[in-house]
A and B are shown apart, each in its own frame.
Chain A
């Protein structure tokens, strides 16, 4: 697609987006070679075609099964995330060589990157392998703010005149292989054909026509949703037509997410971003339920990084939904500690557990904080990954706050530490080099700052 054509696509999209500005959630199928999005959405989930690695040849072309699977995931995701506010799920189409998630993201950033900085994207891609009548699926997911150089999601807690910060254990995840049989896929195909039919009523027996026939340009099927009734979604197309499509895909008696529990993870991540955009207790509960369902799936046991991130996100949602109350800190502390246990060598996981542990005590005015224990927690994270600047900065913050006469009495010191000892400790950290350069002891600024409790 040349530049003029791309601008035409963009213009159509912008006009459509202007029309649907107040819509809740939206879907679109678009070629990877000319990616587009709804620039006003708080969150956009991009689902790429799954590449068929059954043979070297099959991995070079667009796989019918992989494409259908991604279509199904997009449909299911859109239905699941619709409750989180202004969200969109976009199904990407094209050959594997065109559908490289990072390249598509770069192109999108060029075209749409100058909008609101608090928008977020989730990218889902994957591979399939066909063995006899069985199919094996492996998915990947990555989530971030839609800005260049996103420092990642961050928790920030005040400590005296300083700030403690923590990041998630990972924002790009590899999920374990899953099994989906030919029979399951047959049902997916049949179901997909049914879902692609836009009915006049939320009833499979009511008159309907194929979704794609409603659009003047095939593969540029843009629509937004105006209502949900059970598994049925009411849509309004770019061309102004309305109707109902069947959402939630079923495999046998089970939903697609029971075979691919990572879809629950994606739903939970979408909920986190939806909550951050427009906080609402119901959104937090829905996101927590989705993440819990992911963690509880027997198939998730071999995805420790995703489980740790899921627990961290649940802890963050819990804190925010309950206005960072004492009770919320008590409950969430066990989630952060569990995340750290799941990933014992991950400095970000142990660091997040440590700042919550420290802050829980600190926010109680009559409690004193054990200085040595606190700095040792951060040193443990530093030792696990010396390149991680965040726990090192937290350690330095504790030294700096403890040597401030205003806050000194908030700490206990065993062994005893003089002001000079503390000053020397802080100075020692300031002299550290990372990557051959003097360390910059300041936390990165997250795109969406962690709110203060009120």
Chain B
């Protein structure tokens, strides 16, 4: 009887875990299209869903653009260097096309986070207008805290219609901010998981993401882009400031001189 009593709390936890995973899996499988490929990959993952173009469209150039974009994303999102434990892996989710935020209810997000997905992206090549293609890519950074910033970011790209292959290549080559979203999300994920023990890796990721996104967003970023940039700076500065006083953190940021901190995070900025 004594032994049974001792086991009871564990049984409760076990039931809770099983139920939670069950709901989470159920929620995921109810999504637009399951991506079972991600279960075969260990470590941090980027899910690359379909890039679609208008149904019924017979525009060969649009289809080519879509396929090229897929090719470019596949090549650009390979994380070739860095620490093996932190490396992220690209997972192709053929046939999956989320329908925006509605496809990411909390349990779905939880399911993705539990599977170490840091970024999911998909896209649409829309009908051209005023001599420009319209390419929309949607990025979901997991798990950016939805209460303070939207994890969804949509980017519109407008390469010229009838551009030469060299112009298309130049446009593709300019999509160099892609892995910045993965790094931003990985930083938040590491901080959520490990707290101060992740400050060093998270700070490096946030610095890198911030340095890539500032030029990519240009001199007139949209409101959501500004919000993301401000979020990155805020988290960087929170790390830098907390590192100096948090006794659980023993890394080098603890010793960074005041003037470096002030330069990176001026008083009133990054708050």
Question: Is A178 in the interface zone, CB < 8 Å from B?
Answer: yes
Q: Which residues of B contact A345 (CB under 8 A)?
A: 204, 207-208, 210-212
Question: Is A453 in the interface zone, CB < 8 Å from B?
Answer: no
Question: Is A176 in the interface zone, CB < 8 Å from B?
Answer: yes
Question: Is B201 in the interface zone, CB < 8 Å from A?
Answer: yes
Contact A129 B71 (CB under 8 A): yes
Pick the interface stretch among A133-141, A191-199, A315-323, A331-339.
A133-141
Contact A385 B72 (CB under 8 A): no
Q: Which residues of B contact A181 (CB under 8 A)?
A: 165
Q: Min CB distance, B122 to chain A, in Å?
A: 18
Question: Is B6 in the interface zone, CB < 8 Å from A?
Answer: no
Q: Which residues of A contact B193 (CB under 8 A)?
A: none
Q: Which residues of A contact B200 (CB under 8 A)?
A: 385-387, 434-435
Q: Which residues of A contact B256 (CB under 8 A)?
A: 379, 382-383
Query: B251 touches which one: A53, A176, A299, A432 (CB < 8 A)?
Result: A432
Contact A428 B255 (CB under 8 A): yes
Q: Which residues of A contact B207 (CB under 8 A)?
A: 345, 383-385
Q: Which residues of B contact A386 (CB under 8 A)?
A: 199-200, 203-204, 251-253
Q: Which residues of A contact B169 (CB under 8 A)?
A: 136, 176-179
Q: Tell me the bound Cα distance from A411 to B260 in angstroms.
A: 20
Task: Give the size category of B's interface with A.
Answer: 35 or more
Contact A174 B78 (CB under 8 A): yes
Q: Tell me the bound Cα distance from A435 to B254 in angstroms.
A: 14
Q: Tell me the bound Cα distance from A304 to B216 in angstroms.
A: 13
Question: Is B172 in the interface zone, CB < 8 Å from A?
Answer: yes
Q: Min CB distance, A425 to chain B, in Å?
A: 8
Q: Which residues of A contact B74 (CB under 8 A)?
A: 53, 127
> Which residue of A has the minimal Cβ distance to B68?
A131
Contact A433 B68 (CB under 8 A): no
Write out, one digit per residue, whether chain B residues 50-83 have a CB within 8 A of any chain A CB (1) or not (0): 0000000000100010011001101110101101
> Which residue of B has the minimal Cβ distance to A142?
B80
Contact B75 A384 (CB under 8 A): no
Q: Tell me the bound Cα distance from A304 to B215 in angstroms.
A: 12
Q: How many A-B residue pairs have CB under 8 A?
A: 121
> Which residue of B has the minimal Cβ distance to A137?
B169
Answer whether A434 and B251 are a contact pair too, CB < 8 Å, given A127-B75, A386-B204: yes
Write out, one digit per residue, whether chain B residues 157-178 have a CB within 8 A of any chain A CB (1) or not (0): 0000000011011101110100
Q: Min CB distance, A307 to chain B, in Å?
A: 12
Write out, one digit per residue, whether chain A residues 344-372 have a CB within 8 A of any chain B CB (1) or not (0): 11010000000000000000000000000
Q: Which residues of B contact A435 (CB under 8 A)?
A: 200
Question: Is B155 in the interface zone, CB < 8 Å from A?
Answer: no
Q: Min CB distance, A343 to chain B, in Å?
A: 8
Q: Which residues of B contact A129 (CB under 8 A)?
A: 67-68, 71
Answer whether A179 and B166 are a contact pair too, CB < 8 Å, given A129-B67, A384-B207, A387-B201: yes
Q: Which residues of A contact B68 (CB under 8 A)?
A: 129, 131, 136
Q: Tell me the bound Cα distance from A383 to B174 in angstroms.
A: 28
Contact B260 A433 (CB under 8 A): no
Q: Which residues of A contact B259 (CB under 8 A)?
A: 376
Contact A433 B76 (CB under 8 A): no
Contact A383 B211 (CB under 8 A): no
Task: Give the size category of A's interface with B.
Answer: 35 or more
Q: Tell me the bound Cα distance from A375 to B251 in angstroms.
A: 17
Question: Is B257 in the interface zone, CB < 8 Å from A?
Answer: yes
> Which residue of A has the minimal Cβ distance to B236?
A383
Write out, one digit per residue, whether chain B residues 71-112 have a CB within 8 A of any chain A CB (1) or not (0): 110111010110100000000000000000000000000000
> Which residue of A has the minimal Cβ distance to B61?
A132
Write out, one digit per residue, whether chain A residues 26-60 have a CB within 8 A of any chain B CB (1) or not (0): 00000000000000000000000000011000000
Contact A53 B260 (CB under 8 A): no
Q: Which residues of A contact B80 (CB under 8 A)?
A: 140, 142, 172, 174
Query: B174 touches which one: A302, A382, A433 (CB < 8 A)?
Result: A302
> Which residue of A has the minimal Cβ distance to B170?
A302
Answer whether A134 and B165 are a contact pair too, CB < 8 Å, given A174-B76, A387-B204: yes
Question: Is B197 in the interface zone, CB < 8 Å from A?
Answer: yes
Q: Min CB distance, B75 to chain A, in Å?
A: 5
Q: Tell me the bound Cα distance from A345 to B255 in angstroms.
A: 19
Q: Tell me the bound Cα distance from A302 to B259 in angstroms.
A: 33
Additional 16 contacts, C-beta under 8 A, given A302-B174, A345-B208: A127-B74, A136-B68, A136-B169, A138-B75, A171-B81, A174-B78, A177-B71, A302-B173, A304-B176, A382-B253, A383-B256, A384-B204, A384-B207, A385-B207, A433-B250, A436-B250
Q: Can you show 15 pairs from A to B with CB atoms below 8 A apart? A: A127-B71, A127-B75, A140-B80, A170-B81, A171-B81, A176-B176, A179-B166, A376-B259, A383-B203, A383-B256, A384-B203, A384-B207, A387-B200, A432-B255, A434-B200
